[in-house]
Structure 1
Amino acid sequence: MAQQPSSSFEINFERYELDNGLTVLLHEDHSDPVVGVALTAHVGSAREKEGRTGFAHLFEHLLFLESENLGKGGLDAMSARIGGSGANGSTNRDRTNYFQTVPSDALEKMIWAEADKLGYFINTVTEPVLAKEKQVVKNEKRQAVDNRPYGHDNYVIGKNLYPVGHPYNWQVIGSLEDLQNATVDDVKEFYKKWYTPNNTVLTIAGDFNPREAKQWIEKYFAEIPSGAPVAALQKQPVQIPVSKRLYYEDNFAALPQLSMVWPGVPLYDKDSYALGVLSTYLSSGKSAPLNKVIVDSLKLASRVSMSDQNAELAGEINIAVRAYDGVDLNKVQDAIYLGLADFEKNGISKDDLDRIKAQQETRFYRGLSSVLGKGFQLAQYEIFAGGADYINQDLERIQQVTAEDVMDVYERYIKNKNYIATSFVPKGAAELALENSDLAQVVEEQIENNVDADVDPNVIATYERTPSSFDRSVEPEYGPSLELKIPEVWKTTLSNGINVYGITTSEVPLVNIDLEIKGGLLLENPNKIGVSNLLSRMLLKGTKDRTTEELEQAIDDLGASVFVSASDQGISLNATVLKRNYEALMNLISEILLEPRWDDEEFELLKQSVASQLTQQQSDPNSIASNEFSKLIYGKDHILAQNNLGTNSSIENITIKDLKKYYTNYVAPGLSSYRVVGAVDEKEVTTALQQLEKLWKPKSVNFPKLSAIPVLEESKIYFYDVPGAKQSVLRFGYPALAYTDTDFYPVQIMNYRLGGGGFASQLTQELREGKGYTYGIRSGFSGSEFTGPFSVSSGVRSNVTLESSQLIKEILENYGDSFSPEDLAITKSFLVKSKALAFETDQAKLGMLTVIDKYDQPVDFALEQQELVEEMTVEQIKELARKYIIPGQMYYLIVGDAATQLERMKELGYGEPIRLN
């Protein structure tokens, strides 16, 4: 039985308005020396014009580039200097937000910068600026939609669920044609209409002085003029006169997928809470009616998902099933109807209702576990729920849902109601689509080399400055300097060898657990790769005294989530639970670890699921790139080069005896670390671990010696063909360093300005901001206790594959020589100041415990790292670059369209490309 929620948790905040209409929300939280700042404009794709779609999202990009007083680079450049979390933004149908967490000494700087977005930005948008950012956004669309399995599904659903003229008929990212046609005048018209103080909410949450904050807000925002009144949009729920069935042969899909979508309700509608419960109950877990039929009984798919997606004007209810290879989607739809009929007959029990409410309570608290999370929620409620104080009512509305409410919304929104069904099937497999489906209309971009003109990154915008009552070009000073606060860590070792590390924090009533057992691929038989992954999944398929269904329900009753996964080097159990149920969850975890059920039927279902996952990876360009790059780095026979899922043949040959053998020989307390962060102290933790300490007996485990990693003498190019790919996925690199190497943290410092610093990095500035070749690019070192690679990774538009590779090579060749004192100053400023953010969230604290544990670091290792940064010199950076950035001894892997790009890659200068498929 799920326990009733605590009613004492409350978020306190202050709300006020400036004379120009700007709404301000302030929430104090002094637990960490950080502050989250978010500016939310009540404008998304729903307020665009047809033929000019994608503008709201385009603005999300433009507002980071430049403003009158921050200058070129705008907030991105400032973020690097002040140690921010990385200024970012997001756009949906109804709002656009801009956000960042910064050390609290930089709050005035952030308020100054956010005001520049709202009042002192639009004059900086010129034709060259717009032309470049169009390319970046088009690359984002290619990466997220065009070059991704099932990427066009939402487009097809939107066009058919919402009629022409409805604001949700088009996608947030817009169309390539609309983006290309956008003019500067279009952009300015959009900005002046929607980016006004009276259509915007400023939220500040964290460690700050409210009196000071209000003075700064008044200084920087008050003289920005109010815009024209913004009329509220009326709710526009839709009705479908007849059901529609559509199909599409997807270039990147290896498996058939069925989506069925019904019209739903807007955000915070009274029915949205019952629909949320209904979606969870029908699809989530072993006992879910849809799961029982589709996954367990008929074995048509490995899982079924159902979601209730609510937006400001309307909502939609979506059931999606990615079936096994070759499955007819008509069978999947028949199975969906069988599952729905089961629900109609039996409804939802009180126990099931209570456990779902407990899950939703945990999810609610998790969303408030950072200062930025609290700020997001306050703004969300302010704009869409009628006031920010709804934050203290939302959980109550969840808890008020009854079983009758759940059946009522099913009957009013799903039963016998018209729907949109989409069948996305592999190329050449149209016969798997639903019967009587029409071909979906999707706009596919043609690949042509060099059709997009390069933009000149050095063009300086000239514009007339907006007048102000004071000189806004002067950046505010920092506040009082901050001291890095290291969380208090306690640690102990249990009598059976488990190392325990903990941090106590009480910001939200949750406990987060990470239990890691060393092993994974390192202990697998090379002829049967995939055992540790299957074992990790098997551990949640029941215990000696509980079936899978009973175990899932016991976890849900506690408002907990438990995940077990395998990696190259271990098996990890991660859990989150309401504080009041922590000890009860640890009793369950003891069962999971010590008394596996070994159910043969569940084992066969898991094998089928993993085989299906492998099939899909074989047509996903990003998965292909990751798997092939590992083989190049380590050599194809090295254990760390293997995909830990296994292969189709290895999965077929693995038996449940293989899992039992691994479990018996290698799942040992002496290989285990237990890390916990949350609202529990050391005594509560050690008490809760007594059962695991008593019953989990020690055993000796020997690790096989790893084979040597091959040394690459000269660079080679490898090409994996994905016909019709709209982007090329690049992975360039070589085997570099282990985390335990003395140079490992120094090379992180060195790499910050190369490709580790986001918008502060040279790779991003030149390939994204300068050329518009990519949506994102990064470089980094990823060693563990074993040697890991240095890598450069990106997705670039297909027709500049060679040009992107040449530019990356040039940047790598020149990086050390060109590194300047200014580069070092920016690196030091970010790496020192950003330490204030390093331990804010519970997940960040768990990461800190992981480093302390796995690499035998002192509790204050962050202070040692800070000292290394402060002492670093330009010459040391140059020496590290000469030693570790070696473009002439790297693997250059391209996953893309060979027909148009393979031959061109000879021009990179590393010989004939080697085809991998």
Structure 2
Amino acid sequence: MRKLQSFLAAVTVLLVFSCKEKTEKTSEEIAKTEFKVDFEKFTLDNGLQVIFHIDRSDPVVAVALTSHVGSAREKVGRTGFAHLFEHLLFLESENLGKGGLDKMSARIGGSGANGSTSRDRTNYYQTVPKDALEKMIWAEADKLGFFINTVTEPVLAKEKEVVKNEKRQRVDNNPYGHVNYVQTKALYPEGHPYSWTVIGSLEDLQNATLQDVKDFYNKWYVPNNVTLTIAGDFDKSQAKEWVKKYFDEIKKGDDIPALEKQPVTLAETKKLYYEDNFARLPQLSLTWPSVPEFHKDAYALDVLSSYLAYGKKAPLYKILVEDKKLTDGVRMYNYSSELAGELTLSVTAFDTTELTSVNSAIQDAFALFEKEGISDADIRRIKAKQETSFYNSLSSVLGKGFQLAQYEIFAGDPGYVTEDVKNILAVTKEDVMRVYNTYIKNKNLVAVSAVPKGQASLVLDGSTKAEVVEEKIVEGKESTFDPSIVATYEKTPSSFDRSVEPPYGESPDVIVPEVYKKELSSGIKIFGIENNEVPLVTFNFRINGGMLLEDKNKIGVSNLLASMLTKGTKNKNPEELENAIQTLGASISASASDQYITISGNCLAKNYTKVIELVNEIILEPRWDTKEFDLLKQSTISQLQRAQANPISIARDQFYKVLYGNNNILSNNNAGTTTTVKAITLQDLKEYYSANISPKVTSFHIVGDITTPNAIASLKTLNTKWEQKDVNVPTVIAAKTPENAKVYFYNVPNAKQSVLLFGAPAIAATDKDFYSAQVMNYRLGGGSFASQLTQELREGKGYTYGVRSSFSGGKTSGLFTVSSGVRTNVTYEASQLVKDIMSNYSEGYNQNDLEVSKGYMIKSNARAFETMGSKLNMLENISMYNYPVDYAKQRENSVKNMSVEDVKKLADKYVNPDKMIYLIVGDAKTQLNKLNKLGYGEPELLNPDEVLKD
């Protein structure tokens, strides 16, 4: 992925249907009567495939350009090119100019141009207000046909550094980051298109020449290898004219033959291990060869994976978690790609657990499955979940368009959705047993043990040491480049002047959803939005308190309580409750934070009444299951141990400790510590529940295909039976702003990156300046590629994969933070640059900065309420912060009236680098002493014992 935000196109199917029909039908009946695809497809003379999908529910359009090239089309010795191109295509093109689509996105209110790369395709996507559609078509055409001349040696050198930083962050500096590399190399024979990872080899990237890049582009980035998808609220006739105007004259490339399917077989089982610099717990991953995408067995393998690993009935859960207590959970998934597939089972065991015992337990679980099989009821339960997932996938026009392209490229027809659905619903219990016997039972596999440094004794018996290539970062040895050099080239001829950016279309009419509010006699406050775009309901109960109501010596009680709430009820044991939820195709979860306990649900509208009845049981009649409590405690301890190995988690926890100090409860991680969690008893949870779980401090938020009267009536039982207890939630004690800046360092020996987390106390979400401060921050670090921090640290220096600044606020206090992961050997240089940017921000802010910020903040409102999740978030803001119902519109008006001087005053008031905490998590041996040069005194080492160990 190109940016820190991951785009998860976890869309099982894409179907367009009538939402008005309320008759109850089975999944199979719906497939026969209502599942149809609504799209129009045409092909330009140059081979470009174009797919249109109309969705007028919101005034937005999603545009996606998908090239049928991923890492599988690379050459040995030149791996990582597809992913490198994902980065390069955003930087510049002949007519968009420097900054490319990123710069334009900031002006037009886009969601932020982004992209992703897989083994088989690379895509580029963005959702924009519908008045910017022509601009997007123009921009995408410019990237496809008028790009390669802008790539120069400095541009290539800089982007290589960005990609290397991404690999450091995702792989080298991450627990278990090398598992995929070891698996891939062992599973696929040398030369197989999947025998290297998508991100590729750093050595290959470093060796890439400009001619290599041009050859790759000219072969794969041609219209006849690309699909353009447009989904949303637009005029098809007009859009077709624009597509032809901007794409027609781009030359067709050479014919690209389809690759043959290349499933693999293993002649023997391979057992490998490596010692992980960041892991704190041993992990075993087993991988079997499976089948390519859309193979008939892929559907049964999905069901098999779900049944074996997830939920109380799952054999792997029963044996590994409940019976043998080796782990707190098991992951299993079938990953089918265009040419081949793989089935992976992964277990992160508890501390010091021998992985041979984990493997034995897995075999016991398989034996249990072979004995008991899978029932028709289990098949129906899993299909019910798939049905709800299907409808959830329809809440975003981007998800719809993305899936249409997926079907076109890999199945040869966007309408393949019909066959896909039939295949999903046709899976039988006999199919599940058959694929188990075909792909798992007694089959050769790849087993990878990843264990903490110095704990090789834990690896699976018979394992041999894997070759893991770790980059050596040497001071002063990185490539240098001058990003200010402007490329000079002869522009590609065109029949019209492409340098003229198209005008905006008709401005979209942004409609703020209508909100209803009501307070029940019990004290429950209701906030709702009726929304019948899809037959779903999503909701949550937010109960004030969270960690604020805990004993400082037993931090973690509310977190454990939240987890316990879904582990059975008075009349349903944990497995019965889980089955009841899943049979309805619903999800119900509970979580805790510093200030809240939240119970959330998502379901088909037709099942809402039954789902809310289960929530009533969860809230009113918790089970207090001793066995589940013990499992949850061990699971929480394991999660805390894993977090201690993650530099980003370390930075967050240490920052709050320094910021709030020992006497403020907010200095703690709300999950607690291994010490506090061990001290918590089931009685502690019962006492917290009895004293603090009350309707008087509860807000209910609901969005979906349910009328206002029915939503209110659904809470009748809670309103009458939930005991109305007075709860005194303490006011948050705000952190004190440091009188002088200070540098803190947490040592992670041999870290490939340093995590920077700088910040200070700031304004609450209820403060009149809160939104204005976000506008001010847009060009500082909140606007991604439109921000100075990104432009200078990533685009200008290649120090980082991503950097951002943000204001976050609660009801009474807030924070301003800057965060990034940077190459280890530029820790001081990056920190100094961040400091300089903050110091000079106010002075350098100008009218253009303001216009860019205004343009984005105002135009992005068209996207503000597109999904059910965004609507639910809107309700939470209204209830938590007492915002007016039309707060989005009011903010829009306030932005229009802001001046440059207003922004400068806000920057001077809320961004003061000389009164901040500077926290760095990295390799102290090489980086600590250099930080004296920041001018904030001697850095304080937060874990000196680790340095002594090293």
Question: 1:719-772 CA deviation, whole Å, 9 max, x = no partner?
Answer: 000001000000001111111111111110100000000100000000001100
1:2 Cα shift?
A: 11
The answer (yes or no) to whether the contact 1:635–1:710 under 8 Å persists in 2 is no
CA distance in 2, matches of 1:910, 1:213: 57
CA distance in 1, matches of 2:869, 2:730: 32
Choose the corresponding residue for 1:56, options 82, 90, 113: 82
CA distance in 1, matches of 2:226, 2:705: 35
The reply on whether 1:576 has 2:602 as its aligned counterpart is yes
CA distance in 1, matches of 2:662, 2:496: 64
1:706 Cα shift?
A: 4.3
| Structure 2 residue ranges without an equivalent (≥5) | 1-23, 944-950
CA distance in 2, matches of 1:854, 1:307: 38
The corresponding residue for 1:127 is 153
Letter in 1 for 2:640: L
The reply on whether 1:205 has 2:231 as its aligned counterpart is yes
CA distance in 2, matches of 1:506, 1:164: 52
CA distance in 1, matches of 2:476, 2:830: 12
Give the fraction of aligned pairs with identical amino acids, expressed as a percent.
60
1:527 Cα shift?
A: 1.1
Secondary structure, in 3 states, of the residue corresponding to 1:778? strand
When the two chains are superposed, the root-mean-square deviation of aligned CA atoms in Å is: 1.2
Question: 1:135-184 CA deviation, whole Å, 9 max, x = no partner?
Answer: 00000000000000000000000000001010010000011101101111
1:688 Cα shift?
A: 2.2
CA distance in 2, matches of 1:894, 1:806: 12
Letter in 1 for 2:857: L
Q: What is the total number of aligned residue pairs between the two structures?
A: 917
Question: 1:298-350 CA deviation, whole Å, 9 max, x = no partner?
Answer: 00000011101110001100010000001000010000000011111111001
The reply on whether 1:655 has 2:681 as its aligned counterpart is yes
CA distance in 2, matches of 1:636, 1:47: 55
1:707 Cα shift?
A: 4.2
The answer (yes or no) to whether the contact 1:2–1:358 under 8 Å persists in 2 is no
The answer (yes or no) to whether the contact 1:2–1:355 under 8 Å persists in 2 is no
The reply on whether 1:150 has 2:142 as its aligned counterpart is no
Secondary structure, in 3 states, of the residue corresponding to 2:137? helix
Letter in 1 for 2:682: I
1:641 Cα shift?
A: 1.2
The answer (yes or no) to whether the contact 1:455–1:772 under 8 Å persists in 2 is no
CA distance in 2, matches of 1:167, 1:636: 54
The corresponding residue for 1:314 is 340
The corresponding residue for 1:819 is 845
Choose the corresponding residue for 1:494, options 520, 525, 530: 520
The corresponding residue for 1:366 is 392
The corresponding residue for 1:554 is 580
The answer (yes or no) to whether the contact 1:139–1:797 under 8 Å persists in 2 is yes
CA distance in 2, matches of 1:345, 1:409: 16
CA distance in 1, matches of 2:149, 2:450: 44
CA distance in 1, matches of 2:279, 2:867: 37
The reply on whether 1:441 has 2:464 as its aligned counterpart is no
The reply on whether 1:256 has 2:282 as its aligned counterpart is yes
Letter in 1 for 2:751: A
CA distance in 2, matches of 1:605, 1:507: 40
CA distance in 2, matches of 1:504, 1:711: 43
CA distance in 2, matches of 1:708, 1:488: 34
Secondary structure, in 3 states, of the residue corresponding to 2:617? helix
Choose the corresponding residue for 1:903, options 929, 933, 936: 929
CA distance in 2, matches of 1:774, 1:559: 42
CA distance in 2, matches of 1:229, 1:574: 51
The reply on whether 1:512 has 2:538 as its aligned counterpart is yes
Choose the corresponding residue for 1:543, options 554, 569, 574: 569
1:616 Cα shift?
A: 1.3
Choose the corresponding residue for 1:428, options 425, 450, 454: 454
CA distance in 2, matches of 1:2, 1:458: 62
Question: 1:426-458 CA deviation, whole Å, 9 max, x = no partner?
Answer: 000000000110101110111322211332221
CA distance in 1, matches of 2:605, 2:432: 28
Choose the corresponding residue for 1:69, options 87, 95, 98: 95
CA distance in 1, matches of 2:661, 2:476: 35
CA distance in 2, matches of 1:10, 1:206: 17
The corresponding residue for 2:200 is 174
Question: 1:508-555 CA deviation, whole Å, 9 max, x = no partner?
Answer: 222111221111111111111000000000011100111111111111
The corresponding residue for 1:456 is 482
Secondary structure, in 3 states, of the residue corresponding to 1:782? strand
The answer (yes or no) to whether the contact 1:250–1:427 under 8 Å persists in 2 is yes
CA distance in 2, matches of 1:260, 1:462: 52
CA distance in 2, matches of 1:717, 1:737: 23
The corresponding residue for 2:704 is 678
The corresponding residue for 2:873 is 847
The answer (yes or no) to whether the contact 1:3–1:558 under 8 Å persists in 2 is no
Counterparts of residues 605-684 of structure 1 (less than 5 Å): 605-684=631-710
Secondary structure, in 3 states, of the residue corresponding to 1:225? coil
The corresponding residue for 1:138 is 164
Choose the corresponding residue for 2:273, options 238, 247, 259: 247
The answer (yes or no) to whether the contact 2:544–2:729 under 8 Å persists in 1 is no
The corresponding residue for 1:110 is 136
The reply on whether 1:385 has 2:444 as its aligned counterpart is no
Q: Mean alpha-carbon deviation: is it higher for 481-490 or for 262-271?
A: 481-490
1:361 Cα shift?
A: 1.4
Secondary structure, in 3 states, of the residue corresponding to 1:368? helix
Letter in 1 for 2:757: R
Letter in 1 for 2:789: L
Letter in 2 for 1:201: T
Letter in 1 for 2:782: G
Secondary structure, in 3 states, of the residue corresponding to 1:43? coil
Secondary structure, in 3 states, of the residue corresponding to 1:446? coil
Choose the corresponding residue for 1:778, options 801, 804, 822: 804
Secondary structure, in 3 states, of the residue corresponding to 2:329? coil
TM-score norm. by structure 2 comes to 0.96
1:788 Cα shift?
A: 1.9
CA distance in 2, matches of 1:693, 1:705: 26
Are the structure 2 counterparts of residues 880 and 361 from structure 1 closer, same or farther at C-alpha, using a change threshold of 3 Å? same
Secondary structure, in 3 states, of the residue corresponding to 2:503? coil
Secondary structure, in 3 states, of the residue corresponding to 2:327? coil
CA distance in 1, matches of 2:476, 2:258: 45
The corresponding residue for 2:380 is 354
The answer (yes or no) to whether the contact 2:157–2:479 under 8 Å persists in 1 is no
Counterparts of residues 728-747 of structure 1 (less than 5 Å): 728-747=754-773
1:474 Cα shift?
A: 0.2
The corresponding residue for 2:322 is 296
Letter in 2 for 1:251: N
The answer (yes or no) to whether the contact 1:2–1:557 under 8 Å persists in 2 is no
1:886 Cα shift?
A: 0.3
Choose the corresponding residue for 2:435, options 406, 409, 412: 409
Q: Mean alpha-carbon deviation: is it higher for 92-101 or for 498-507?
A: 498-507
The corresponding residue for 1:236 is 262
CA distance in 2, matches of 1:52, 1:575: 47
Are the structure 2 counterparts of residues 106 and 2 from structure 1 closer, same or farther at C-alpha, using a change threshold of 3 Å? closer
Secondary structure, in 3 states, of the residue corresponding to 2:58? coil
1:254 Cα shift?
A: 0.2
The answer (yes or no) to whether the contact 1:3–1:557 under 8 Å persists in 2 is no
Secondary structure, in 3 states, of the residue corresponding to 1:675? strand
The answer (yes or no) to whether the contact 1:633–1:789 under 8 Å persists in 2 is no
The corresponding residue for 1:84 is 110
The answer (yes or no) to whether the contact 1:234–1:313 under 8 Å persists in 2 is yes
CA distance in 2, matches of 1:310, 1:816: 51
The answer (yes or no) to whether the contact 1:364–1:395 under 8 Å persists in 2 is no
Question: 1:664-690 CA deviation, whole Å, 9 max, x = no partner?
Answer: 110111111111112212122123222
1:648 Cα shift?
A: 1.1
